[in-house]
Structure 1
């Protein structure tokens, strides 16, 4: 399967065995916020509109949530901060993870599909002091799970109407749409140069570490869809320059590309297969149109080079973690 974006369009990912960073994350966030306060750190589709979250905003939120997490830890009488995140990668999740790391904690990413006994076993091993969970069904599974903690564990959610219980205290996250004006990003104006696209969940081992590499080391803007269901539509609007994707996600994209070419032996299939292999001038508009339908037309730009994973800077969480 030699798609033109198979080998050239994907951001190299962090080694899943590498540790998440330590407290130097806070220094890196503050440095980005100081040097390039207006540059977007994240783009996110919310409520049907694109929002651009600047480094100034991210720096403020990381500092605020660092204080929130530290106060929660003190109230629990715990010494080591252990944050578990579960759901789709988006600015809410990444910013809270940055705050936990800046506070000297560890971050663990759990598969959103975990429930029942499997979830209970994972939580027993990690013993989280805080968690972020997305999706009503997943939150329900977590509320039914024991925590083995002496006090209720704070559970960050984006749906404040959900009620907690004696094991979990619901903590609503602030919606950036309340303080950040939309309209900084509009679709239909050509590829978003330098933007890295992510539409993965915490099922991807290594995803969060790779996100931190792309944002903190290379200083790229990372974009996220509104939901998993809207990912294709949102990616078409943005036409990102690079993708940050797991091997499974890459395979699905390549399969989707091939499926859209029509039946084997058909005219459309023969034409697109020829264009993919041909250096001819006529092949370029055919390839670009095909990739634009997938939201990948911007991937003709030079690939994003992300440095090799750095050496471990903090203790490695269990491998339920990133």
Structure 2
């Protein structure tokens, strides 16, 4: 299964949520590959706490591979390379967790047929080796996004037999704010957005929309005001949330497209990291945060649950 992680802009929590999704899927017993396709800012290594990969790798990252400068993309076993002791442990029944890092000093580039062919081969190879492959894309309409859509287009991607169903998910992450809801709607449905471009490269609109779901990140509640929340603050939060729901629905980002939400997590405000059950048990992270990542992992992993959203 291929899961593409896109976002309307930077700062949405796309990468940290995707890393947590990868970790939770591995706990479900899935062998997971994490492809850092954020060519300009590949920082998944920092989230997995791999010091030598904090801003990508200096040799053979995905940027170099797509450009034809590396014959094989670099990869690291997250549990073997992380400095975080609790993440090094592999619980019984869990799957592999492998990072394919981007390049240190990488950048956006002009799209060519050779780049698309390289991405097609990459996706084909990781799908054969891993149960789940998460492709973390650069924010907005980027070359990484364009390459990916071309590489999974019905025009070039061979159809599989029904018994080996072609499983693709496209997640659009956005913060639960007016600015981000507007931007997410524009990225998905705007004249130069994801859906029009998907149709341009060969998708039928209805077929592509079956792949797409949204994830609302860092959703606050009244606790964000502190322990002593006033009646006025509670009313304001309720009205603001109602406004955002109406705004999202008006931009076709309503409940029927929603895969999940993640709460505002204080730990992640200071440090983007994998939230583990140990963090919850130590009362460092909210139980709701770990539960949200678990629910999202279950939904993307289950075809019936995905179709039922």
Q: Report the TM-score when normalising by structure 2.
A: 0.28
Considering only CA atoms, is the larger Rg found in Structure 1 or Structure 2? 1
Higher helix share: 2
Which protein, 1 or 2, shows the higher relative CO under an 8 Å CA cutoff with sep ≥ 6?
1
Q: Report the TM-score when normalising by structure 1.
A: 0.27
